Structure 1
Amino acid sequence: MADLTQEEWAEQLASDDNAFILDVRTPEEVEEGYIPDATNIDIYLGQEFLDEVEKLDKSKNYYVYCRSGNRSGQACALMNQLGFENAYNLMGGFNEWEGEVIEP
């Protein structure tokens, strides 16, 4: 797992053709806006979160975010335990995101 600053995360993501953006916030938080192309799997779902993550392609590079960076850090650690080699946590989370946002 790697903690990336907002700038590092955005730069690395922009040049990564094997990227998958994972939003681990609640559906209510997602309604406030989300990063384009993100897939939402709520980490608070517990076992269901793990089951959904297990279905993902482990060969991809995962760019993970939540509201502040705490839950996404936990998600990255869990993903590493499940065999995902490349999980990048967005430090500061969506609260500090200055890139493009989609308003649902």
Structure 2
Amino acid sequence: MNLEQKEWWSQFLNDEHGIIIDVRTEDEFESGKIPGSLNIDIYKGQGFIYRVEELDKSKNFYVYCAAGVRSANACGVMQQLGFENVFNLVGGFSNWDGPTD
């Protein structure tokens, strides 16, 4: 599900089962990220799938990338793998005006 930043962030903050996933590259992740996010690079292909399959499917996942395209793809992959609650950040990190590390 695509969510605009305000809704994505407020929903995450009120979600005791929420986990943020950054699907950008490690270099992008190291240059700035949303606090508390896990980095699982979607460009790793099968490696991405292996890492995602280790996650608890009962949690709620808030996914972002730089502009929202890779994260939308990641959400689609996660849904195919049986994840029910995945939320894509529309506009991605490049439009993020919330807290960063």
**Band of TM-score, shorter chain:** over 0.9
Which runs of 5 or more residues in structure 1 are unaligned? none
Deviation, 1:31, is 1.8
Q: Structure 2 length as normaliser, TM-score?
A: 0.98
Any idea what the Cα deviations from partners look like across 1:37-93, whole Å, max 9, x if unmatched? 100000000001001100000000000000000000000000000000000000000
Instruction: Among all aligned residue pairs of Structure 1 and Structure 2, give the percentage whose two residues are the same amino acid.
Output: 54
Q: Structure 1 length as normaliser, TM-score?
A: 0.96
Runs of at least 4 residues of structure 1 off by over 3 A?
none
Deviation, 1:32, is 1.4
Mapped to 1, the partners of 2:49 and 2:26 lie a distance apart of: 17
Mapped to 2, the partners of 1:16 and 1:56 lie a distance apart of: 17
Which runs of 5 or more residues in structure 2 are unaligned? none
Q: CA RMSD in A?
A: 0.5
Mapped to 1, the partners of 2:12 and 2:46 lie a distance apart of: 28
